[in-house]
Chain A
């Protein structure tokens, strides 16, 4: 299996070089970008598989990069958001814009490489904190009971709870007596709901980050 090509987008030079040094032995680094404009151009030029995307940058941040790439590019990479922010509205906004996962910057190098690989395989990556936000957002009765997008299934709830408790996908599979692929399917399904649901909490969070969805 060839390792995925990664573009690192962050407005902090120090952080970019740190991530690069950690990922270089494990993954194929396509390049770096220091801003929204540079990222959009870099994605068109290097055509990476996965973009490690900083949420907070001048001129709109990660959300703006995803929006512009989706609007005017024939090459659509997968986005993994990487941020120091753990505010709910940031997390939810970047996921709803289209990111396939969200990890915080204190993640270790091997864990980050693992997350990138998983995103490039088409899976979703949830940190314990993101899982917590999702459980919070989907707590309480669904506003439209007929829409399956507005509520989590008991199994999805269980999987998210385990992620929030710090279990790896493999460990979750073992504990719930299902295959790792099924765990990943559940997480992807939650991601889809997170992106498409019209639950009030999600739209409110997104609106707070200027994402009119």
Chain B
């Protein structure tokens, strides 16, 4: 047996009619018709619908068809709907289908104000995880500060309007029934009672709030720990298991360890962050990782003055990658040092190995092609490349890109 719930997936407004229809096995349009008929009885249908919206819990699933617009459009639609409702009510009033002014107007105000406030608090739990001030190790993308602030401001102003409407309703009701004077006395007594209760229960309430906050931060901490544990499990422990199995192959073990080290460092540093512009340093690091994995040679990348990637800088990275490949192939397994410096619009990259080196005057044939691809590529993008090497002293490729700034 299904519970009575608002069917937000098939509903038009809040899914009240669809929910009732589904729960009791009645055609939805019949239920809707009943509400429309009830509306002719002094707007009773509208009141009932609003009550249903507030009281009946929302069912599973997000609103399938978004009939309710958001943002600026929502304000316009709300205004239009309000005016339409007002004209309907006035028509009923003129026709004499009416309870009394003292009853209907406050009710309309309470309904609209209440709807604003209740919707507000109903939305909260769903969006709670997002605005919670947690700072996991992986530093997830957070809402832009302006966006966050704007949302909070909108929520506050909506709640404020709701409160004003409800208070106005009470005031109008008391005014028209002439009970305002008596209400003032009651209000005073109530105020005194509230203050007294506040004084009595304040310590307890504060304690409650504090323990809730504590519990919350405890939960966040344990969630973070779980996240770290999950990551270590997937990465470091796997790698350690792999290292144990490959213990007889030192080269392989070193490569595995180095790859894991890079991965863990990147994770600790929280890069690459989504939404971050592509930069030179991560691009060079990525190329270095590829070379390391392909050739089993350690590559150390040092970048000073990181810059944004454009097509020329990308060409520079590609050329540097070629140079690294070269160094890995002909450097005799020596470690490769990559140093990039972007200062005053001048971008320099050095790729160096400590291998056997060669006489640059007599370039071996098998190197000519690669050399062309490095030098040629740099020249096509307005840069230059030079290769320094001598037998026994390693090889260094220098790439320069002057950006017009």
Residues of A participating in the B interface, judged by any CB pair closer than 8 Å: 86-87, 106, 128-129, 131-132, 135-136, 139, 161, 164-167, 171
Cβ contact within 8 Å between A165 and B337: yes
Cβ contact within 8 Å between A165 and B305: no
CB distance from B354 to the nearest CB of A (A): 7
Cβ contact within 8 Å between B354 and A166: yes
Residues in A whose Cβ lies below 8 Å from that of B304: 132, 135-136, 139, 164
Cβ contact within 8 Å between B302 and A132: yes
In B316-338, which residues have CB < 8 Å from any A CB?
335-337
CB distance from A156 to the nearest CB of B (A): 14
CB distance from B51 to the nearest CB of A (A): 57
In B248-266, which residues have CB < 8 Å from any A CB?
258, 261, 265
Cβ contact within 8 Å between A165 and B343: no
Minimal Cβ-Cβ distance residue in A for B337: A166
Minimal Cβ-Cβ distance residue in A for B396: A165
B314 touches A (CB below 8 Å): no
A153–B79 Cα distance when bound, in Å, is 70
Residues in B whose Cβ lies below 8 Å from that of A164: 302, 304, 337, 339, 341
Residues in B whose Cβ lies below 8 Å from that of A86: 265
Main secondary structure of the interface of A (DSSP, over half): helix
Residues in B whose Cβ lies below 8 Å from that of A135: 304, 341
Residues of B participating in the A interface, judged by any CB pair closer than 8 Å: 258, 261, 265, 269, 298, 300, 302-305, 335-337, 339, 341, 343, 350, 352, 354, 393, 396
CB distance from B45 to the nearest CB of A (A): 64
Known: A129-B300, A166-B300. A139 touches B337 (CB 8 A): no
A131–B337 Cα distance when bound, in Å, is 13
Residues in A whose Cβ lies below 8 Å from that of B352: 165-167
By CB atoms of chain B within 10 A, which of A87, A132, A171 has the most? Answer: A132
CB distance from B375 to the nearest CB of A (A): 19
Residues in A whose Cβ lies below 8 Å from that of B337: 128, 164-166
Residues in A whose Cβ lies below 8 Å from that of B339: 128, 132, 161, 164-166
CB distance from B118 to the nearest CB of A (A): 46
Residues in B whose Cβ lies below 8 Å from that of A132: 302-304, 339
Minimal Cβ-Cβ distance residue in A for B343: A139
CB distance from A78 to the nearest CB of B (A): 25
Cβ contact within 8 Å between B341 and A131: no
Cβ contact within 8 Å between A165 and B350: yes
| Other-chain contact of B302, A106, A129, A167, A171 (Cβ < 8 Å) | A129
Minimal Cβ-Cβ distance residue in A for B334: A166
CB distance from B282 to the nearest CB of A (A): 15
- 19 A-B contacts (beta carbon < 8 Å): A106-B258, A128-B300, A129-B300, A132-B303, A132-B339, A135-B304, A135-B341, A136-B304, A164-B302, A165-B337, A165-B339, A165-B352, A165-B396, A166-B300, A166-B336, A166-B337, A166-B352, A166-B354, A167-B352
Residues in A whose Cβ lies below 8 Å from that of B298: 106
Residues in A whose Cβ lies below 8 Å from that of B350: 165
Residues in A whose Cβ lies below 8 Å from that of B258: 106
CB distance from B341 to the nearest CB of A (A): 7
Cβ contact within 8 Å between B302 and A139: no
| Other-chain contact of B341, A128, A161, A166, A167 (Cβ < 8 Å) | A161
A128–B341 Cα distance when bound, in Å, is 13
Residues in B whose Cβ lies below 8 Å from that of A171: 393
Cβ contact within 8 Å between B305 and A136: yes
Residues in B whose Cβ lies below 8 Å from that of A131: 302
CB distance from A25 to the nearest CB of B (A): 19
Minimal Cβ-Cβ distance residue in B for A104: B300
By CB atoms of chain B within 10 A, which of A87, A128, A129, A171 has the most? Answer: A128
Minimal Cβ-Cβ distance residue in B for A135: B304
Given contacts A136-B304, A165-B396, A166-B354, 8 further A-B contacts (CB under 8 A): A86-B265, A128-B302, A128-B339, A131-B302, A135-B304, A164-B304, A165-B339, A165-B350
CB distance from A186 to the nearest CB of B (A): 18
Minimal Cβ-Cβ distance residue in A for B264: A84
A166–B298 Cα distance when bound, in Å, is 13
A165–B337 Cα distance when bound, in Å, is 6
CB distance from B61 to the nearest CB of A (A): 46
CB distance from B398 to the nearest CB of A (A): 9
CB distance from A89 to the nearest CB of B (A): 12
CB distance from B285 to the nearest CB of A (A): 12
CB distance from A15 to the nearest CB of B (A): 13
